[in-house]
Amino acid sequence: MSTASLIESADTAADRAASPRRQDRLTRFYSRRSSQWWPPLLVFVILVGLWYLTALYYDKTVQLPYLIPYPHLVLTMFYGDPIFTPLLYADLFNTTQVALTGLACAIIIGVGWATLMSLAKWIERSLYPYAVILQCIPILALVPLIGSLFGYEFLSRVIVATIIAIFPLVSNTLFGLQSVDRSQRELFELQGAGRFTTLAKLRFPAAMPSIFLGLRNAAGLSVVGAIVGDLFFQRGTPGLGVLIQVANARLNGPGTFAAIIIASLLGITVFLFFGWLARVVVGKWYDFG
């Protein structure tokens, strides 16, 4: 791990020789690391086993095999079904497109909004309540309205994804921008640095870890938003949400499961990607817990 190598390089050779216990500790650290992969794998095997048993029960006893299909049938949907497989990937592409566009909008609007609020206390007092209200509106209640206002296609899907994803960006950016130490602010004040210089050279860099944490959560939410949009808007280029509904309606159990799984994988991928990006961009100076 990079942290370990950093500790290593910071210490001198003499230091290391002086503490043989340290070597032990490092060895233990690494063996603990390498033994970490099997417990989740074991759980995975157990879960798949349980899934088979449940599928067997639904197949033989309940006699409704499409409710809980066998795992291997679901797996074939990912590569072997002549009709479903291409549909799955086309819809994955569409959903990804909606989610990422929504996320991009949420970043621009959310970070901009928070920055504006951080510039003056009175702006914050005027605007923050609306961020909270936006968070409190049951978004599903708004979705039909968005559809009738903006159509039942791409634009409305993006708007839903944006609204669902925006709150963590607003709150995390604002928190980050305001978390700067008083003495650091005074350091800038003493040199006569203006509001915008302080924002660019102090507040923004200081807020980056917090913004990235917000971004990671927002990214996961944008996928949720894209699928929720699908459930309401069936026109235009449909995504995984539509696919899940259609497969379910046609009693295509394996297809339903495959679509749900790939939607989850999309959420996980986006979440991991932004976690990774955060480490690359600010991990050098900031330790994420």
Partner 1 sequence: MPSMSAISPTKPSRSAASMSTLLDFRSVAMRFPNGTVALSGIDLTVNRGEFVTVVGPSGCGKSTLLRIASGLETASEGTAEVDTKRIGYVFQDATLLPWRTVQDNVELLAELTGMKPKERQVRAQEAIELVGLGGFEKNLPKELSGGMKMRTSLARSLTLEPELFLFDEPFGALDEITRERLNDELLRLFVEKQFAGLFITHSVSEAVYLSTRVVVMSGRPGSIVGTFDVPFPMPRDPDIRFTAEFAELVGEVSHALREGHS
> Which residue has 């899907």 as its token pair?
157
Say if residues 88 and 77 touch (Cβ distance below 8 Å): yes
Taking the complex as a whole, the smallest distance from the CB of residue 196 to partner 1 amounts, in Å, to 12
Residue 205 as a binder of partner 1 (CB under 8 A): the answer is: yes
Residue 211 as a binder of partner 1 (CB under 8 A): the answer is: no
Residues in the interface with partner 1 (CB under 8 A) total: 24
Q: Which of 14-22, 28-36, 262-270, 280-288 is the region at the interface with partner 1 (rule: CB under 8 A)? A: 280-288
Positive or negative, the CA dihedral 85, 89, 95, 96 is: positive
Applying CB under 8 A, among 68, 146, 202, 223 the residue interacting with partner 1 is: 202
Residue 201 as a binder of partner 1 (CB under 8 A): the answer is: yes
Taking the complex as a whole, the smallest distance from the CB of residue 7 to partner 1 amounts, in Å, to 10
Taking the complex as a whole, the smallest distance from the CB of residue 273 to partner 1 amounts, in Å, to 22
Footprint on residues 158-197 left by partner 1 (CB under 8 A) = 181, 183-184, 186-193, 197
Taking the complex as a whole, the smallest distance from the CB of residue 284 to partner 1 amounts, in Å, to 7
120-158: burial string, b at 16+ Cβ within 10 Å, e else: eeeebeeebeebeebeeeebeeebeebbeebebbbbbbb
Residue 66 as a binder of partner 1 (CB under 8 A): the answer is: no
Residue 285 as a binder of partner 1 (CB under 8 A): the answer is: yes
Taking the complex as a whole, the smallest distance from the CB of residue 259 to partner 1 amounts, in Å, to 42
Between 63 and 183, name the residue whose CB sits nearer to partner 1. 183
Say if residues 86 and 194 touch (Cβ distance below 8 Å): no
Distance (Å, whole) CA 65 – CA 60: 8
Provide the 8-state DSSP code for 85.
H
Taking the complex as a whole, the smallest distance from the CB of residue 186 to partner 1 amounts, in Å, to 6
Provide the 8-state DSSP code for 153.
S
Distances (CA, A) of 68 to 4, 49, 84, 96, 221: 45, 13, 18, 27, 27
Take residue 261 and report the two structure tokens written for it.
Answer: 């799984």
* Interaction site with partner 1 (CB under 8 A): 6, 10, 181, 183-184, 186-193, 197, 201-202, 205-206, 208, 282, 284-287
